[in-house]
Amino acid sequence: MKHLLPELPYQLEALAPKMSKETLEYHYGKHLQTYIDNLNKLIAGTPYEEKTLEQILLEAEGPMFNNAAQTWNHTFFFDTLTPQQPEIPQPLADALTRDFGSVETFKEKFTQAATTLFGSGWTWLVSDKDGHLSIVRESNAGNPLKKGLKPLLVIDVWEHAYYIDYRNRRAAFIEAFWTLVDWQKEDKLFENQQLLLMPVVRNGRKATVGYQPDVWKTWE
């Protein structure tokens, strides 16, 4: 199975000025594409060639894991941004209040975690098997799926995510990030945990949930 660059759910310029077209041209168009290209080279001729991205992420180690995880992480990050931010749906707001005290307290703790993460990495809002929410920091290509946790929200704090627009001002990038979060998608993931219990296989705008080789055969 060849992994392809997934299409964005918005135009490259749609998130400007908070996230510029130039940033997306490099971050999405070049960085993510490079991870995908590297992954395809690494899995060629191995048993991983027929596995889903999530299966590779969970099973592989070393460079193969790094490129699979960075492909998954970036795809999730871009998919959960929007130029037209909706209000936080009540079920998600209630869960954040239950586990953090309030939505604003959650944002403060998440911001602090992302701001103080040393070096490169990701800060995640995750749910455990009982539906309890927590904030997890992962260095480099780390992904909470490896720990049995379900991602709901993520911010990329590698410098390539923000250096064009904000130079070394990570805190300013995080502040802007809060205006781009697609709360409707986060709520759907929270309400429907099975969306992450089964692998999502992508081919451009097309996708399947779970192992569906008969559908994949029709993809060009």
Q: What is the pLDDT of residues 6-58, one digit of tens each?
A: 999 999 999 999 999 999 999 999 999 999 999 999 999 999 999 999 999 99
Structural tokens at position 154: 């993520």
Q: What is d(CA 58, CA 43) in angstroms, rounded to the nearest whole number? A: 14
Q: What is the pTM of this model?
A: 0.88
- For residue 145, the 8-state DSSP code is G
pLDDT, one tens digit per residue, over 98-132 is 999 999 999 999 999 999 999 999 999 999 989 99
82, 9 Cβ separation under 8 angstroms? yes
What angle do helix axes 62-79 and 33-43 make, rounded to 10 degrees? 140
- Domains, the chain, in order of start with CATH, read 21-83 (1.10.287.990), 90-197 (3.55.40.20)
Q: Which residue in 214, 145, 154, 216 sits closest to 182, CA to CA?
A: 154
147-180 tens-digit pLDDT: 999 999 999 999 999 999 999 999 999 999 999 9
- Residue 6: name the closest of 71, 83, 82, 81 by CA: 71
